[in-house]
Amino acid sequence: MKFQNRYFFSMFLALILTINWFIPAYAAAPTITSISPSLVFNDQDTTITITGTDFL
């Protein structure tokens, strides 16, 4: 009986680890709510501000 329990537990653990290996963990995608300024010229230094959520 002990052998069967160990065998079952080992196979169950191997199955769970195998399934988790192939399922990717998805992260929340960043959401951009605004970009300012909306107009930028090439010959000027301009600070661009991007606001949103879930940035790293």
Q: For the segment 1-56, what is each residue's pLDDT rounded down to a tens digit?
A: 566 777 888 889 998 888 877 777 777 788 999 999 988 888 889 999 999 988 77
What's the pLDDT at 33?
A: 93
What's the pLDDT at 50?
A: 92
Question: pTM for the whole thing?
Answer: 0.44
What's the pLDDT at 24?
A: 73
23 near 46, Cβ under 8 Å? no
In DSSP terms, which residues pair with 34 in a beta bridge? 51
Q: Is 55 left (phi over 0), alpha (psi -120 to 50) or beta?
A: beta
- C-alpha distances (whole Å) from 47 to each of 13, 34, 37, 40, 51 are 53, 14, 8, 9, 13
What's the pLDDT at 42?
A: 87
Dist. CA 9–CA 1, nearest whole Å: 12
